[in-house]
Amino acid sequence: EVQLVESGGALVQPGRSLRLSCAASGFTFDDYAMHWVRQAPGKGLEWVSGISWSSGSIGYADSVKGRFTISRDNAKNSLYLQMNSLRAEDTALYYCAKVRLRLLSIGDAFDIWGQGTMVTVSS
């Protein structure tokens, strides 16, 4: 079964750091681009960051650029999001998501999503 499981969410103070992880199983992880999408409580979806299968292409939303870093460890079938200088507006449920097709060099829809991990930034 194809599965994504996020972890690492917590209650943190503004200005602090947090690292999210996403463990993948049931598919050849290193063949697929991966993304982070967040959803603030009661709000819509916001794309946060994405990384190509080779880590050669990375993108960020303007709202997190310079503060968040996406990475992957294909040997561990894992995706990460290092979040620094956290702000109250970063409070959200963070999902990792897999794209549909392998080895793509262009954008693609997200066919598998994890259940999410909650990040709360508050003093």
Partner 1 sequence: DIVMTQSPDSLAVSLGERATINCKSSQSVLYSSNSKNSLAWYQQKPGQPPKLLIYWASTRESGVPDRFSGSGSGTDFTLTISSLQAEDVAVYYCQQYYSTPYTFGQGTKLAIK
Q: Under 8 Å CB-to-CB from 10, ≥6 apart: which residues?
A: 18, 119, 120
Residue closer to partner 1 by CB (options 16, 57) is 57
Torsion angle defined by CA atoms of residues 38, 43, 45 and 50, in that order, rounded to the nearest 10 degrees = -30
Question: Does 107 help bind partner 1 (rule: CB under 8 A)?
Answer: yes
Asked if residue 27 binds partner 1 (CB under 8 A), the reply is no
Choose between 23 and 61: whose C-beta lies nearer to partner 1.
61
Residue from 2, 10, 25, 111 in contact with partner 1 (CB under 8 A): 111
- Asked whether 113 and 97 are in contact (CB, 8 A), the reply is yes
Site string for partner 1, 41-70 (x = CB under 8 A): ---xxxx--x--------xxxx--------
Q: Judged by CB under 8 A, does residue 115 bind partner 1?
A: yes
Strands annotated E in 1-115: 3-7, 11-12, 18-25, 34-39, 45-51, 58-60, 68-73, 78-83, 92-99, 110-113
Binding interface with partner 1 (CB under 8 A): 35, 37, 44-47, 50, 59-62, 95, 100, 106-111, 113-116
